[in-house]
Amino acid sequence: MIVHRILAIAAAVLFVSTVGIATFGAETMSLGQALDLIAPNLLNELPAWFGDWAWTSLARPMMVRPAWMMPLGLGMILAGLSVSLSNRKTTHRSHRRS
């Protein structure tokens, strides 16, 4: 099954981007500030995408978190999914003693 490998690679890319953001980014930069640097009008358009409840309860609280926390969390989720989906076959051991 190739899905677990794709998830593992995506998790690795997110972990590397987390280190890059944490190392080279500003120490106190929030996710909202980082998104504002990337796309200045994006924060004005996001509430229309999410809706009132999801924006107020889910998305807006994430905007004040550090910018490196989102790729770290997503990488951890993808790594967990990758490990859960992997089909590691254990070696078959004979129960007979020789």
pTM of the model: 0.75
The amino acid occupying position 68 is W
CA distances from 11 to 5, 15, 67, 69 (A): 10, 6, 17, 13
Q: How many domains does the chain have?
A: 1
- Inside any domain, residue 96: no
CA distances from 54 to 22, 57, 63 (A): 27, 5, 13
The amino acid occupying position 79 is A
Write out the residue range of the structural domain in which residue 37 sits. Answer: 3-82
- Inside any domain, residue 93: no
- Inside any domain, residue 69: yes
CA distances from 91 to 1, 44, 87, 94, 95 (A): 18, 55, 12, 10, 12
- Inside any domain, residue 89: no
- Inside any domain, residue 94: no
From first to last of the 98 residues of the chain, give the pLDDT tens digit: 789 899 999 999 999 999 999 998 888 899 999 999 999 998 888 888 888 888 889 888 999 999 999 999 999 999 999 999 887 666 666 676 65
- Inside any domain, residue 39: yes
Amino acid 55: pLDDT: 86
- Inside any domain, residue 38: yes
- Inside any domain, residue 43: yes
Amino acid 73: pLDDT: 94
